[in-house]
Structure 1
């Protein structure tokens, strides 16, 4: 399901730091997607779709996964009382086409969440809860970022 486009950092345009995971509330392990100001670029992500293209087009539905997290858990949006809809990771695919799309804005890109594969999308923004800047549905107040290629180290083969 993954495209062969590689891994990317989603670097915030207005804040320092990068995306990562945190254990918040009743999380038994880090599974809440957060903007962590202590991370230089964050954890790289991959975009996946059943259409095997070397890129993700603007507005194309896709899955988002952290590249270097074991078993590449997918992002999903879950209801958390009393906060609302937050972004977490799960090892279970949520839909065939993916519930997220990247849309260009003046200064970068934003992520839009499409519940149930419908036509109505909601911006993913940042909310501060319990000292963490979490990704959540925050329509009209999107998290704006630049996409930076995460270069993977090349494999060196030594001659014997």
Structure 2
């Protein structure tokens, strides 16, 4: 039984079917961000600077998944996301029209670790901090309200 709300992630792993990972708690400590490629070059005497900006940038966000009781389910989702599968976050499954498709940026494909949930350690619950990026043309407008 969820502790608060009915938030979830949905994704389709390669060769698999649509999978729903119900969250015990909505994404916690959501932090908005923006990512954009910038290449800077300074003159040898550092009196001039040139910056090349590529594109208009994309929405990113950081947040924490908390109180998750199934480590395997959570690791499977994060592993699929790290492999490039789009994860779609639903703040409430009761309002399926509000969703945020995203790519998982962190944790990376090299290493994914869960941490025992400090507030409920004896219950075998897990927490993980994530960084995500809105899919092409996507936005996180409304995610932080």
TM-score by length of 2: 0.29
TM-score by length of 1: 0.28
Higher relative contact order (CA 8 A, sep 6+): 2
The answer to which structure has the higher helix fraction is: 2
Larger gyration radius, structure 1 or structure 2? 2
